[in-house]
Amino acid sequence: MKGLLLVGSAVLAAVSMAYAPLSSAQEPGCLDTSIMGKLARANSPAELSARKQKVGDSYRAQLIFAARMLEIDPRNKSAANLLLGLIPESSDDPHEAVWLELDELPDCPSGRVPDSDLKALDMLQYLLPRLLARAVLLIPEKMPAYVAYALLGLGPDNDYAVQTRKVCRAKHQQFVKAVEQLSPNDRKWFVEKIFNPVGCKTIAFPEQ
């Protein structure tokens, strides 16, 4: 009987080892998503900075850090500058996907990340347009980057064009100049489909 138990234990160990690579292949994506969610859930500048030190300097981590810092501390010019500086310069930039899906990290089965982490990332995603508007009002020299954000392929619930009204009215000259710096095709699309600087008119409204 003892021999049978030893054989049984050996078989179970072998089976566990066989499945271990699959499990460990799935875990990093889940862990990354949860870590980013916890970064987005920080409730003070000190807590956010401490969590950022543990997370590192990946592009996604910097974006979440800058956006959340500006949400917590609306007058933080350093965070505003970082956030605007991270906007891709063109729509074929590989970082575009990060802006469109903050919680889109690979290799994580559904249900493996706490809802609180996912909700924090989803909320930050939703707030990005108004945080960008806040940022460019603090750092108006980054207006071209703010305008370029519209070229990333915004989702149906993105209210960038609504938030842009306050930017257009407060920094009209800089805003018009930034729109004029777009390529002719991009400028035509922006003015006809997204936002018209003449009269600071919103054209693209989010779907309800």
pLDDT score of 187 more than 90: yes
Please give the single-letter amino acid code of residue 48.
Answer: L
pLDDT score of 182 more than 60: yes
pLDDT of residue 17: 37
61 within domain boundaries = yes
pLDDT of residue 125: 94
79 within domain boundaries = yes
Q: State pLDDT tens for residues 105-124.
A: 555 666 677 889 889 999 99
What is the pTM (predicted TM-score) of this model?
0.83
16 within domain boundaries = no
pLDDT score of 193 more than 60: yes
pLDDT of residue 110: 66
207 within domain boundaries = no
pLDDT of residue 90: 73
pLDDT of residue 92: 78
19 within domain boundaries = no
| Cβ contacts of 93-99, under 8 Å, gap ≥ 24 | 95/59, 96/152, 96/153, 98/59, 98/60, 98/63, 99/63, 99/128, 99/149, 99/152
**Domains contained in the chain, number:** 1
Over range 57-83, report the average pLDDT: 97
Q: Which domain holds residue 55?
A: 26-202
3 within domain boundaries = no
Is residue 4 very low, low, confident or very high in pLDDT (cuts 50, 70, 90)?
very low
Nearest alpha carbon to residue 135 among 170, 109, 110: 170
| Residue written as token pair 């920080």 | 42
Q: Looking at 11-20, 74-83, 103-112, 119-128, which range is the least confident one?
A: 11-20
pLDDT of residue 34: 86
Is residue 29 very low, low, confident or very high in pLDDT (cuts 50, 70, 90)?
low
Residues above pLDDT 70, as percent of the chain: 81
Over range 59-72, report the average pLDDT: 97
12 within domain boundaries = no
Q: Which of 85-89, 104-108, 132-136, 153-157 has the highest mean pLDDT?
A: 132-136
149 within domain boundaries = yes
Chain centroid, CA 2 distance in Å: 57
Q: Measured over all CA atoms, what is the biggest interatomic distance in the chain, rounded to whole angstroms?
A: 87
pLDDT of residue 102: 85
pLDDT of residue 105: 59
Over range 126-139, report the average pLDDT: 97
